[in-house]
């Protein structure tokens, strides 16, 4: 995947000093990005609807940021 297609898929990462090959590890950034999800989109490969993830952003941001940091 080239950088152009990655930038178009993750435009929010450009605003948070995250390099294209790194995931954000700051829970506040993760929560902000989760809140940007469109609740009208369909489920992803994980089978979790974006509306659920968005509504639980304040709860799942810290564990997700820890997982991102470990990986």
pLDDT, tens digit, 9 for 90 and up, residues 29-68: 999 999 999 999 999 898 999 999 999 999 999 999 999 8
Which is higher by pLDDT, 24 or 38? 38
Domain coordinates in residue numbering, the chain: 22-70
* 12-19: long-range contacts, CB 8 A cutoff, minimum separation 24: 12/36
Mapped onto helix, strand or coil, the DSSP state of residue 20 is coil
Per-position b or e across 11-36, b if 16+ CB within 10 A of its CB? eebeeeebeeeebbbebebbbbbbee
pLDDT tens digits, one per residue of 3-17: 444 444 455 555 555
pTM above 0.75, yes or no: no
Question: What is the torsional sign of CA 14, 36, 45, 59?
Answer: positive
Residue 69 confidence class, pLDDT cut points 50, 70, 90: confident
Average pLDDT over residues 21-29: 81
Instruction: With beta carbons less than 8 A apart as the criterion, state whether 65 and 25 touch.
Output: yes
């Amino acid at each position: 995947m080239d950088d152009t297609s990655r930038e178009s898929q993750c435009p929010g990462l450009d605003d948070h000093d995250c390099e294209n090959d790194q995931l954000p590890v700051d829970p506040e950034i993760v929560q902000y990005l989760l809140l940007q999800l469109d609740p009208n989109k369909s489920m992803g490969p994980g089978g979790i609807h974006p509306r659920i993830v968005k509504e639980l952003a304040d709860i799942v941001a810290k564990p997700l940021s820890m997982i991102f940091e470990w990986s």
